[in-house]
Structure 1
Amino acid sequence: MVRRALPSRQRRMVGPFVFLDQMGPHVFQPGRGLDVRPHPHVCLATVTYLFDGEILHRDSLGSVQAIRPGEVNWMTAGSGIVHSERTGSALREGGSALFGLQCWVALPGCFEETAPAFAHLDAGALPVLEGEGISARVVAGSFWGRRAPVATLSDMFYVDVMLDPGARIAMPPEYPEQAIYIVEGRLDLGRDGSFDAGQLVVLKPGAEVVLAAAGPGRTRLMLLGGEPMDGPRYLSRNFVASSEERIEQARRDWQEGRFPQVPGEHEFIPLPESRGRPVRYP
């Protein structure tokens, strides 16, 4: 049933998902907050989803959008975009919590150089499925017969599942590549064992699994995956592309100031001089 349980930063793709970054849980003291300065991306989409707190997104398209729990920010970098992620000034004054995930989704080769775009969806726009001790929100793509309205460029799914203690739910093999990321609590997969928060469980193709909450408290999971990509991808810092040459071009464009700027922001993060070859994701 389970191929293996991997740390969240393991180097492999599951469907179009190439990178997963967990933010928090963390509590900022008054006067402090998140300050991710303007930085570039190419040939991917970023998917930001929060469980707690708030982030103010700004990008080179002129988008200014706060994201809160249950909402989704989908940013298509395509040919190139720059964005910042910060705690807003009003929230910063009194201190605030932050807990969430950002995933990077590789774009199909024919869309890698598509025009940059940004979309925000409120929590009420996302499909929700509820049962006894179970709540699931389809954040992006399609799963369990429900489709989120965000316009993805490949067949994929990304679902937030909350299980009460002892609750169980079947995860059907809807896509060739599927995985489960345990956000909180403990997940029981029967004969294949139990898994703790922070683990990414990659499933074998064609296997239906039963997800059961194993801990005394609630268990939170993100289900993710999709159709296999149309070839390997390379990752180097902020850049993901189907060729090393495209990543090198993006590096030169950033260092030489050819990326667009985020309106109202003037900070610049230079890329490090020393670097290895981009990491290849098979």
Structure 2
Amino acid sequence: MSNAGLIIEERSRDIGDFLVGGLIPFRKKRMVGPFSFIDHMEHADVSLDNYMEVGQHPYIGLSTLTYLFEGSIMHRNSTGAIKQTLPGNVGWMTGGNGVVHTERTPAQMRDGETYPLHGFQIWVALPKDKEEIEPHFSHTEKSEHPSWVEKDVEYTLIAGKGYGKESPVPVYSELFMLQLLSKSKSTFSVNDNLKDEIGICAVEGFIE
């Protein structure tokens, strides 16, 4: 189904202690490329009465991508990985034949103060021939992502390939996830720079 002219508004979804804005799946659009779930954690406040406490839950046959603009999440999973995700970093967990993980507010943020939390949690379907691979976890630092500026637009390639560059996040299919930042009215082109299906999420501001 073509994305042309399709605008999807966020719908509130409860993930336990938090409400997130669900983008896909949508009744008219189940996936965009291999992206099967996109949840936007929009400017939540983490405090004494509202810590993130997402307990053990399993994943199979897919990968998850966590990307934050603000805040921090402590990730633990059954591969033995324990890692704190900070703004600009990518936590990439491949479930494969089965993994269990938790996501919680880090210990140093449980001091009674209030902290912001803002970012994305995304599910990426694995190709059929990779659905039963061994689970694993990778963490990519902000400094490792390709970043550049064109026509007053700041680009960061979070995952996959685009604009002749490649992110070090270990993906298993042809995909791309880009962050674009502009403080003024600017123009960007996807022609010959991105391949396959494209979805754009306006996190702040607007696009035409």
TMscore range, shorter length: 0.7 to 0.9
Match of 1:76 in 2: 94
1:60-75 alignment to 2 at 5 Å?
Answer: 60-75=78-93
Q: Distance in 2 between matches of 1:22 and 1:170?
A: 24
Contact 1:37 1:84 (C-alpha < 8 Å) held by counterparts: yes
1:134-149 alignment to 2 at 5 Å?
Answer: 134-149=153-168
Q: Does 1:184 align with 2:204?
A: yes
Secondary structure in structure 2 of the residue aligned to 1:168 = coil
CA apart distance, 1:181: 1.2
Match of 1:2 among 1, 4, 12: 4
Match of 1:21 in 2: 39
Structure 1 gap segments, 5+ residues each: 189-282
1:233-252 alignment to 2 at 5 Å?
Answer: none
**What per-residue deviation string (whole Å, max 9, x for no partner) do you get for residues 172-217 of structure 1?**
25322111111111111xxxxxxxxxxxxxxxxxxxxxxxxxxxxx
Match of 1:92 in 2: 110
Taking every aligned residue pair, what percent have the same amino acid on both sides? Answer: 35
Match of 2:182 in 1: 163
100-109 or 27-36: which moved more?
A: 27-36
Distance 1:62 1:83, change over 3 A: same
Contact 1:31 1:95 (C-alpha < 8 Å) held by counterparts: no
CA apart distance, 1:65: 0.4
Counterpart amino acid of residue 111 in structure 1: K
CA apart distance, 1:3: 3.9
Secondary structure in structure 1 of the residue aligned to 2:109 = helix
* Rg larger for: 1
CA apart distance, 1:32: 3.8
Contact 1:36 1:84 (C-alpha < 8 Å) held by counterparts: yes
Match of 1:54 in 2: 72
Q: Does 1:108 align with 2:127?
A: yes
**What per-residue deviation string (whole Å, max 9, x for no partner) do you get for residues 59-85 of structure 1?**
001111001111101100000001101
Q: Distance in 1 between matches of 2:42 and 2:105?
A: 14
**What per-residue deviation string (whole Å, max 9, x for no partner) do you get for residues 85-144 of structure 1?**
111121121221100001100000000011001000000000002134211110110011
Q: Distance in 2 between matches of 1:88 and 1:135?
A: 30
More helix by share: 1
Q: Distance in 2 between matches of 1:45 and 1:14?
A: 15
Q: How many residues align?
A: 188
Higher relative contact order, structure no. (Cα contacts within 8 Å, ≥ 6 residues apart):
1
Secondary structure in structure 1 of the residue aligned to 2:6 = strand
TM-score, L = length of structure 1: 0.64
Secondary structure in structure 2 of the residue aligned to 1:70 = coil
Match of 1:238 in 2: none
Q: Distance in 1 between matches of 2:72 and 2:196?
A: 34
